[in-house]
Structure 1
Amino acid sequence: MKRLVAVFICCLALTVGGTPLAGAEPFDHTLTDGPMTFSWSVGDGVLNVKLTGKTEGWVAVGFNPVKMMKGANFIMGYVKDGKVTVTDHTGHAERNHKADTKSGGQNHASNTVGSEKGGMTEISFTIPLDSQDANDTIIDPSGMTTVLLAMGGGRDSFRSVHTFRSVHRVTLSSGASEKVK
């Protein structure tokens, strides 16, 4: 009986409302491009994400920009002294972004987990597919989603410029993807 209870508690700890937490493995799909890996699973109204980058700086993913960075919903994170910082940004210009909280929105990244070791930074988080925040785009898992991947080099600061970036078109529900540039 104790073993059954322990298994139940373990499984309960890895889910919220039946949806796997971002840090819980495995993810359903993975896209690797150069020094970055984007892994994800679609849950009940949420997207569970893991980003890994060969950097001691930040890693980020953006969803559905209108033009370049403008209009994209960015989730960015870094790990400093063992503490993970993950924040929700909006692309307010073609080449710039700022925290949703500075634009009247909210940080919708939850279940944040992160680590930095051996020159690799990894963050995991959960975001709603439709946060109903004017700064965030609605993510349709069965439709085509433009995904921006980026990472900064060596500094745990969102002000440092990216050292890597790429653009992909992804169907999140199936994992089908194509690199745009």
Structure 2
Amino acid sequence: MTPATALKEWDAQCQALTSAHTALLIRKGGIMETHAGFEVEHRRFLLYPTFLHQNLAELKPEFAGLLRDDPQPGRIVLPALAEVVAIYKVESLERALALEPYQALTAGAIERRFHYRNRPWVHALLLRVRPLREPLVLEETPEMLGCVSWVPLPDVSTEAEAPVLGEGELERLRAGVEGIVGGQALPR
């Protein structure tokens, strides 16, 4: 069954996730999020690549080549299904910065997100990513616009391929992340 929700994330990060270069996202939320900020409201969702606010200076050099202009303005190309493997609320800047090797953002970008809105924490999401057999292409609607994380989708149907990372690799990543954050996974 196709989820009825998508998570907006920088296109470069979506590409990194769907090509198995990373399985971890550091999230804080969009400027239109509620006062409490980003919450992991869904455990299965489609990835919604956004080109808004992408910043070369906030991507590690090995991910800089993934930056591109929107290939289909006015249309959303959803490339993959993501399933949450583990959620961590990281309330230590030192621990948040130690996650840098596991994902695409620079230390400066992690620090900026950590301190955003004077609420010192970030969520780290370990994801199982499954590319869609055929990318789902939707016309962008006014309801999809804005700096929000979660976007409701129309009734759609897609098929996902096998995960880009095997379970052994995901467990290795989980162990590495939990070694940094102190094994504080939130309930899923």
Q: Same fold (TM over 0.5)?
A: no
> Scaled by the length of structure 1, what TM-score is found?
0.31
Higher RCO (Cα < 8 Å, 6 or more apart): 2
> Scaled by the length of structure 2, what TM-score is found?
0.30
**Higher share of residues assigned helix:** 2
